[in-house]
Structure 1
Amino acid sequence: MSLTVVAEEEETETGLNPESETNKILKTFKARQKKEKEISSDDDSDDTDLELEEEKEEFDVTGRNQYLAVCKALGVIPSSYFLRHMQDSALSLRHHGIGSLGAKAISFPLMNNTTVISLDLQDNWLEGDGGESIARMLKENCYITELDISENRLGSKGAKSICNMLITNTTLKNINLSGNLFTDQDAGYFLEAFSENSRLKFVNLSHNEFSDHAAGVLGQAIAENETVEELDLSWNFLRRGSTLKLCEGIWSNCRLREINLAMNGFGDEGALAVAELLKRSTTLHVIDISFNRISQIGATAIGKALDQNDALRTLRIGHNPVGVVGAKEILKGVGYEHCVVSLLDLSGVEVDKEFREMKQALEETKEIQVIHGVVLSDYVIHVKPKKAKELLFGVPVSDVNPTNILQTIKKHCQEHEIRLGETFVGMDKKKLGSVTIQEFLQGLQSSGVEVQDSLASTLVNLLDDIAPENLINYSIFRGK
């Protein structure tokens, strides 16, 4: 029996639509190969052991024939790279432009593949249909333990398919779903998936569009899950009070070890929720709350909360306007007797000489690494040299405001011959004439527009001020 026959039978067993165009063509292949086999049998009635051995060798356990047949059925050009590497234990297809039909084609041979353990499909424009094909495949495959399907614009359809798969899948341990346009409406799918799945260890949901409503739902999902140890929710829209609902779920979870909440902009209200989390959590080892507009108030609360925490190992709170006083309050917190923090990251935060002295004294009593910004001098030696002005898109930061930020970016792009408008048009699949703040930042990055790390928070704040409902009209970049 030929491999394409097996593929057709397996497809029916796994619940795929037997009347699909793919199956019809596979049936045609089956009939043709059966006829050729009968003709060959009539010509050579006396089979030898050698012929039987050769016939066995024709059975392709790799799935190559099945893949080629499905590609022909779907009108897809076969990927030579996939054909060469489909037996690799770590199969990386990132940036290959697979598309939704290509995803369907590779899903057939992968259903019964026993060698691929790690599958990387990052940035292939799979969208909802492609995500559905991969999810269907993972309901049958019991060998893949790591999946990267990030930056594929899966949307609600993809979220639903992936989450339905997670309910029944018993082998996936790591899944990266970053950058897939998931919104608050999709949070419910993850609630059910997190509640039912008992294998996942690492989940990346960063660079999506979860906001206030999703925070409560995801908090409940985290509380009910008993296996996830690392969760990345950075680069979402978890603002202010909504962070409390999320933190409530985190401190109710007894397995979560690492949480990334960077780049959400939740401010001091969120920082107070994080402080409460640190008081209650006994299992959390790593937390990242960088780039969240936390001031001295939030920093002080977090510093005091560390006195009641004996589990946290790493605290990343850099690129926040905590000020010199806030930085010292946090440093006091990690100096408490019961605190076991071994890495304090205050990158981008300016400190003074007193902070430096406190840090040196602390390093003599504890094994700890403290990262911070420049040390401000409290005295003047003659004349200070003028500090070079920080430039944002070639303009002094002090001259950039919400009124002129888009014009400033446009002028910068024109001077460097960067067609930013075309990038946004490609991202705007619904043709709304606008993109989210996250998409805007991704568009800048993919077009080669560089922003200094120290100014990233400033840019986010400016865009947030001009973006009603987190949407930016990009029409200004389409004109000359």
Structure 2
Amino acid sequence: MPGRVADDEDDDLLEDELPEEDQFGRMRYLDLCREMGISPASQILKYLESEAMHVVHYGLGLKGVKALAGALRINQNVTVLRLADNAIPDEGVAELMRTLLDNTSITLLDISGNRMGPVGSKALADLLVSRNTVLRTLALANMKLGDREGVLVGNCLENNTSLRSLDISSNDLGEKTAHTLGQVLMVNLGLTDLNLSWNKLRPRGVAHLSEGLKPNLTLQVLGLGWCGLQDIGATTFGVALKTNQGLVDVDLSGNQITLEGVRALSEGIATSVTLAGIRMDNNDLREEGGKELLQAVDRNKGLVVCSMENTNTSEQIRLAMEALLEPRRKLRDKLHAAQLHQAA
């Protein structure tokens, strides 16, 4: 039904149940829903009193998110806001970002699967450069973002020290965004987790990103799966691994990497001082490529994960890899348990 946000069995959450003081923004939310002619979502009314709000696949749309934004201007209780796949348009994203400028409690925001254009991305940029922002985790996956939005958001991260995790996977980001992020990684001291998987970075984009990774000390988790690296990109990334002193977990799945690329990449894997996990699934490594990886992992005693599913390598190679890594994982878990025991 047009204008209706959701149909729930919990529609008994009425105004007469609300406290006189609207500390959670519930009364404000109901008032805005009435003004815009939409039905209140009982899920939102419930979650306004919780620290984490999970309202996904709910069809909020523009009016629904505007009503929620009004409530969040009052609410200082919610710290986690997940609104993925809610048919929120560009203007709705902008309204939400403007609200977060005044909200000092939300540290995690997931608006994946919605739409963000020029207005929303500008509002997000204003939020990311604000000294008041407390946002630590931001998910913008599957939003049809192009280089225009990618460059704008990337530039705002240069002096941002609060954001720790950024997921911009499954978009249309390319070389320009990668160039911007490469520059950012040279100076950013906050970002520890970056997911760029399922974008169109290709070899030239990865080359830009790799330059930024060489001096970077803080980024630990990097997703580059299905980004079109090919052997050229794998080679430049391998060179970056030799000097990088931060990366712990890297995903390079589905990147058309063959023996040529894995040879160069293996040199970086073997000499990395921080790397603990590498994912090479869905690359055509074949037997020789599998052997190259096995030798690299054997040399680097810090590695505990090396995934190589669907790589045209033999079962013998994969079993040998597991035989090498399993004792390391057991030792890691044992040491971790001992540390927890000491802390207790």
Q: TM-score range by the shorter chain?
A: 0.7 to 0.9
Match of 1:149 among 108, 111, 121: 111
Contact 1:313 1:341 in 2 (8 A): yes
Partner in structure 1 of residue 80 of structure 2: 118
Contact 2:124 2:153 in 1 (8 A): no
Partner in structure 1 of residue 312 of structure 2: 350
1:279-358 paired onto structure 2 within 5 Å? 279-336=242-299, 338-352=300-314, 355=317, 358=320
Q: Displacement, 1:219?
A: 1.3
Tell me the TM-score normalized by structure 1.
Answer: 0.62
Give the whole-Å Cα distance in 2 for the aligned partners of 1:312 and 1:230.
14
Give the whole-Å Cα distance in 2 for the aligned partners of 1:58 and 1:324.
70
1:391-430 paired onto structure 2 within 5 Å? none
Partner in structure 1 of residue 8 of structure 2: none
User: Who wins on radius of gyration, i.e. which is larger?
Assistant: 1
Does residue 252 of structure 1 match 2:230?
A: no
Match of 1:209 among 155, 172, 189: 172
Give the whole-Å Cα distance in 2 for the aligned partners of 1:295 and 1:164.
42
* 1:70 to 1:304, Cα distance in 2 relative to 1, 3 A: same
Match of 2:51 among 89, 95, 116: 89
| Greater RCO, 1 or 2 (C-alpha within 8 Å, sep 6+) | 2
Tell me the TM-score normalized by structure 2.
Answer: 0.85
1:367-419, Cα deviation, whole Å (9 max, x unpaired): 159xxxxxxxxxxxxxxxxxxxxxxxxxxxxxxxxxxxxxxxxxxxxxxxxxx
Partner in structure 2 of residue 99 of structure 1: 61
Give the whole-Å Cα distance in 2 for the aligned partners of 1:363 and 1:250.
26
Corresponding letter in the other structure for 1:134: L
Q: Displacement, 1:339?
A: 4.2
Partner in structure 2 of residue 160 of structure 1: 122
Match of 1:196 among 132, 145, 159: 159
**3-state SS in 2 of match to 1:147:** strand
Q: Displacement, 1:194?
A: 0.5
Q: Displacement, 1:88?
A: 1.1
Does residue 79 of structure 1 match 2:41?
A: yes
Give the whole-Å Cα distance in 2 for the aligned partners of 1:133 and 1:329.
51
1:401-480 paired onto structure 2 within 5 Å? none
Give the whole-Å Cα distance in 2 for the aligned partners of 1:108 and 1:129.
14
1:219-239, Cα deviation, whole Å (9 max, x unpaired): 112223110100000010011
Contact 1:312 1:339 in 2 (8 A): no
1:135-175, Cα deviation, whole Å (9 max, x unpaired): 01110111111111110021333222112111114311111
Partner in structure 2 of residue 132 of structure 1: 94
Corresponding letter in the other structure for 2:59: G
Gaps of 5+ in 1: 1-56, 370-480
Give the whole-Å Cα distance in 2 for the aligned partners of 1:117 and 1:266.
37
Corresponding letter in the other structure for 1:367: R
Contact 1:310 1:339 in 2 (8 A): no
* Structure with a larger share of its residues in helix: 1
Question: Which aligned segments of 4 or more residues in structure 1 are displaced greater than 4 angstroms?
Answer: none
Does residue 109 of structure 1 match 2:50?
A: no
Give the whole-Å Cα distance in 2 for the aligned partners of 1:174 and 1:68.
29
Give the whole-Å Cα distance in 1 for the aligned partners of 2:100 and 2:322.
52
- Tell me the number of residue pairs that the alignment of Structure 1 and Structure 2 aligns: 312
Corresponding letter in the other structure for 1:294: I
1:353-368 paired onto structure 2 within 5 Å? 355=317, 358-359=320-321, 362=324, 367=328
Contact 2:155 2:180 in 1 (8 A): no
Match of 1:269 among 222, 232, 237: 232
* 1:139 to 1:325, Cα distance in 2 relative to 1, 3 A: same
1:233-275, Cα deviation, whole Å (9 max, x unpaired): 0010011222110111122321100100001122001101110
**3-state SS in 1 of match to 2:86:** coil
**3-state SS in 1 of match to 2:173:** coil
Q: Displacement, 1:353?
A: 6.6
Contact 1:170 1:198 in 2 (8 A): no
Corresponding letter in the other structure for 2:197: S
Partner in structure 1 of residue 5 of structure 2: none
Contact 2:93 2:115 in 1 (8 A): no
Gaps of 5+ in 2: 1-18, 331-344
Partner in structure 2 of residue 230 of structure 1: 193
Corresponding letter in the other structure for 1:103: V
Corresponding letter in the other structure for 2:30: L
Contact 2:110 2:140 in 1 (8 A): yes
Query: In terms of mean alpha carbon deviation, does 261-270 or 248-257 score higher?
Result: 248-257
Corresponding letter in the other structure for 1:267: Q
Corresponding letter in the other structure for 1:263: W
